């Protein structure tokens, strides 16, 4: 099979060995002579997979006592609503940082509950930087931010220091670098970047923070519902959770989050160095806020577009077309993307320079 | 591979040829040299699969003009809330039929919106029958019912005749028999019975009925959000939808819903005949309300349990233990369960009779 260098922004590349195990389980899960797609979620084998997935999340991220790990559905988009229902008292106040499309969508859902104080925004420069130097109102129920902005290619390099509860949508950089879970009261993340296939959504929540809003929370949006039933209140997205478990096993076996963080840094350094060195290209974001997951860049001279596009296509690179909100190129370098794929892209950029520079 | 007779109540058996294609796509989707799990949902190949899945739903169920078909997330459990948000004006009234656990869960969510008139219930006899002879209040915004009750083994044999809008949770019998979609204003169904793997939820909605409640609907629970974006408002559960598409292709190729309805009737006739003939067993539900999907039955003499359990286990039958709310046995005979698997179970029941009768 020809190797494709898969830079897709999500759903995205998963480790080859995970895909092989994932395919095998569709044929025969755990030697049951049944497909993982046709077994009961309440059977011993899948219950073990679910427990294993939740344990691996705890182990790999060092989740402290008092936190619950859940695998639910709906993506971060439903998470925006779920977060507010569980943390935003009706008529109260919450603080949000606006770093792009997903942050705005989170703000929109939060506004149903009360006063949303957007304490910082980078909208003035098309979200090309991470705001700094903002104050956090002490009377807000929580501060919400998006740790990595897939579309724009920006990433918080430090967790905001907050005296109020902290909620983070980590959809596109969870498991890519070490975090201190104790800094957060709620983390949520769609699986389809560093975790597994689309369809599962991870929640990590400090349990004692729940049940304090006085909100009458719909059953499926109440995190307590799912805690009480070990993520099995209703039929979970079985396969997405199973493959997430396989990915977490792969991560653990290879050295965990600290291991992948170093590789992700190498990949990012390699690509951003070339973007900065090569006179045909320039980065889109502030250098200090560059995402290690999604590198956004443009050609200085658009007339080279056709040649460059042909060249990376010929090199079996896929998925680097930029999002329509930004244009140009976006190279998503999630955990499973090997360093060699970044080298192939860098080589193509160098080759373009030789041809056109 | 030893053949397992998979009677799981859901997630449940899928056609072998679907599983083979589903496994192949995890290795290499559409010859892209990429797994279906790692491609963008906005890429041409998956967009085509999504469109194909939606078209097949329309074709196989004869969905009339004016209806929209959506593949979303959250299962019927989130559907209970979504249905009410989109059809139940705050402070208004809606009519529900209570035929068991899932109907009760639907009622619970609806009560957030206004007066829920439970116009009929079979709770007096542990949901062992389908209520009849109820009146439908003309001032209710809609009538909601559950077409098949997986846990208890009852099924509506006729669609209720209703002058008010009709909403149905068809999770466990959609695509098992012909229906007249024009009778309904909203149908919703978790995929994990006759459609595909857990993680996708099908909605079929009469579009002109939307937007009339005056409710301020959260973005993800507003069916109009998803109609406007062709089920791609956020990242869809890619794999569950893809495998659902494969299952629908299998159904179409073999003769469609009318074809499978006849086979489902044969399977149900074969098993219920044996339950009625064999003196060691009895059915749990009213005969006229027996589900063709889930047959519930018990041993007349519990002392035969150990022998019977050993016998069906030895025959490679799996998943016929009854739900804790009913006890005894439940044989789920979804579309992909072959007639031969029912014959194997019937043979075991006859063999028990020869041994113990």
Mean pLDDT along residues B109-132 = 98
Q: Is A102 noted as a catalytic residue in this protein?
A: yes
A193 is catalytic: yes
A287 and A196 within one domain: no
Average pLDDT, chain B: 97
- B2 falls within a domain: no
Residue B70 φ then ψ, to 5°: -130, 145
B62 and B170 in a common domain: yes
A166 in Cβ contact with B9 (< 8 Å):
no
Question: Would you call A74 and B78 a contact, using CB atoms and an 8 Å cutoff?
Answer: yes
For residues B191 and B320, membership in a common domain is answered with no
A233 and A92, same structural domain? yes
> What is the maximum span of chain B, computed from C-alpha positions, in angstroms?
65
Length of chain B: 357
Give B355's Cβ-side CA count (13 Å radius).
Answer: 14
- Residue B289's domain comprises 256-356
Residue A266 CA to residue A264 CA, distance in Å, equals: 5
Q: Between chain A and chain B, how many beta carbons pairs sit less than 8 Å apart?
A: 190
**What residues in A contact B26, CB-CB < 8 Å?**
19, 22-23, 26
Residue at A39 is within a domain: yes
Cβ-based neighbour number of residue A302 at 10 Å: 10
Q: A169 an active-site residue?
A: yes
pTM, whole model, 2 decimals?
0.98
B266 and B219 share a domain?
Answer: no
Q: Catalytic one among A177, A185, A193, A267?
A: A193
Question: Given this model, what pLDDT does residue B159 score?
Answer: 97
What confidence score (pLDDT) does residue B357 get? 74
Residue A286 lies in a domain: yes
Is A78 in the same domain as A107? yes
Give per-residue pLDDT as tens, B9-62: 999 999 999 999 999 999 999 999 999 999 999 999 999 999 999 999 999 999
pLDDT at B301 over 90: yes
What would the two tokens of residue B109 be?
Answer: 């969510």
Structure tokens, B23: 């496994």
Q: What is the CATH number of the domain that holds A175?
A: 3.40.640.10
Domain-located, residue B47: yes
Interface test with B, best of A5, A199, A231 (most B CBs within 10 A): A199
Cα Rg for chain A, rounded, in angstroms?
A: 21
Number of C-beta neighbours around residue A338 at 10 A: 16
List the single best residue of A7, A11, A32 to mutate versus B (max B Cβ within 10 A). Answer: A11
- Interface contact A238-B199, CB threshold 8 A: yes
In a mutational test of the A interface, the residue from B1, B2, B11, B323 whose CB has the highest number of chain A CBs within 10 Å is B11
On chain A, the residues whose CB falls within 8 A of the CB of B216 are 112
Q: Alpha helices, DSSP H only, in chain B? A: 16-27, 44-61, 75-87, 101-110, 223-228, 238-254, 256-277, 305-314, 339-356
The whole-angstrom separation of Cα B101 and Cα B103 is: 6
CA pair distance A172, A291, nearest whole angstrom: 10
Residues B233 and B266 in one domain: no
Q: Is A351 within a domain? A: yes
Same domain for A236 and A192? yes
Q: What is the pLDDT of residue A262?
A: 98
**Separation between Cα atoms, residue B318 and residue B5, nearest integer Å:** 6
Domain boundary among A225, A254, A283: A254
- On chain A, the residues whose CB falls within 8 A of the CB of B325 are none
Q: Are residues B237 and B263 in the same domain?
A: no
pLDDT tens digit sequence for B322-352: 999 999 999 999 999 999 999 999 999 999 9
Residue A109: closest CA among chain B residues belongs to which residue? B218
Same domain membership, residue B143 and residue B115: yes
- Whether residue A357 has a cis bond before it, omega within 30° of 0: no
User: Number of structural domains, chain B?
Assistant: 2
Is there a single domain that holds both residue A208 and residue A310?
no
Out of B177, B185, B193, B267, which one is annotated catalytic?
A: B193
Indicate the residue among A187, A221, A254 that finishes a domain: A254
List of long-range contacts for A257-264, beta carbons under 8 Å, 24+ apart: A257/A60, A257/A61, A257/A175, A257/A176, A257/A177, A257/A178, A258/A178, A260/A175, A260/A176, A260/A177, A260/A335, A261/A176, A261/A177, A261/A178, A263/A335, A263/A339, A264/A176, A264/A177, A264/A292, A264/A293, A264/A333, A264/A335
**Residues B232-251, mean pLDDT to the nearest whole number:** 98
Per-residue H/E/C for B251-308: HHHHCHHHHHHHHHHHHHHHHHHHHHHCCCEEECCCHHHECCCEEEEEECCHHHHHHH
Residue A164, sorted as left (phi over 0), alpha (psi -120 to 50) or beta, turns out to be: beta
Residue ending a domain, among A254, A281, A311, is A254
Mean pLDDT within B266-284: 98
Task: Name residue A282's beta-bridge partners.
Answer: A298
Q: What's the whole-number mean pLDDT along residues B207-213?
A: 97
Residues A294, A161 within the same domain: no
CATH code (residue B348): 3.90.1150.10
Residue B195 lies in a domain: yes
**Sites in chain A below the pLDDT cut of 70:** 1-2
């Amino acid at each position: 099979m020809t190797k494709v260098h898969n830079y897709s922004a999500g759903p995205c590349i998963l480790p080859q060995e995970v895909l092989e195990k994932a395919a095998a389980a569709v044929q025969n899960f755990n030697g049951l002579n049944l497909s993982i797609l046709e077994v009961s979620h309440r059977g011993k084998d899948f219950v073990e997979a679910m427990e294993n997935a939740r344990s691996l999340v705890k182990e790999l991220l060092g989740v402290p006592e008092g936190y619950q790990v859940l695998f639910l559905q709906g993506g971060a988009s439903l998470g925006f609503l779920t977060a507010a229902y569980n943390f935003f008292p009706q008529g109260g106040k919450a603080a949000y940082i606006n770093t792009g499309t997903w942050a705005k969508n989170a703000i929109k859902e939060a506004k149903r509950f009360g006063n949303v104080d957007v304490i910082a925004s980078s909208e003035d420069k098309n979200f090309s930087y991470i705001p700094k130097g903002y104050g956090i109102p002490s009377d807000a129920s929580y501060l919400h931010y998006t740790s990595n902005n897939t579309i724009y290619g920006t990433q918080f390099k430090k967790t905001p220091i907050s005296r109020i509860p902290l909620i983070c949508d980590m959809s596109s950089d969870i498991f890519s670098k070490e975090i201190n879970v104790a800094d957060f009261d709620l983390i949520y993340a769609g699986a389809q970047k560093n975790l597994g296939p689309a369809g599962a959504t991870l929640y990590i929540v400090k349990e004692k923070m729940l049940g304090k809003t006085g909100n009458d929370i719909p059953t499926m949006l109440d995190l307590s519902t799912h805690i009480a039933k070990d993520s099995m209140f209703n039929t979970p997205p079985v396969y997405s959770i199973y493959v997430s478990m396989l990915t977490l096993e792969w991560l653990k076996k290879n050295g965990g989050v600290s291991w992948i963080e170093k590789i992700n840094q190498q990949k990012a350094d390699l690509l951003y160095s070339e973007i900065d060195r090569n006179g045909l290209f320039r980065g889109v974001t502030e250098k200090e806020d560059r995402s290690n997951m999604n590198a956004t860049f443009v050609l200085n001279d658009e007339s080279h577009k056709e040649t460059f596009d042909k060249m990376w296509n010929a090199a079996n690179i896929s998925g680097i077309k930029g999002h329509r909100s930004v244009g140009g190129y976006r190279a998503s370098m999630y955990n499973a993307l090997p360093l060699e794929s970044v080298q192939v892209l860098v080589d193509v950029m160098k080759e373009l320079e030789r041809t056109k520079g």
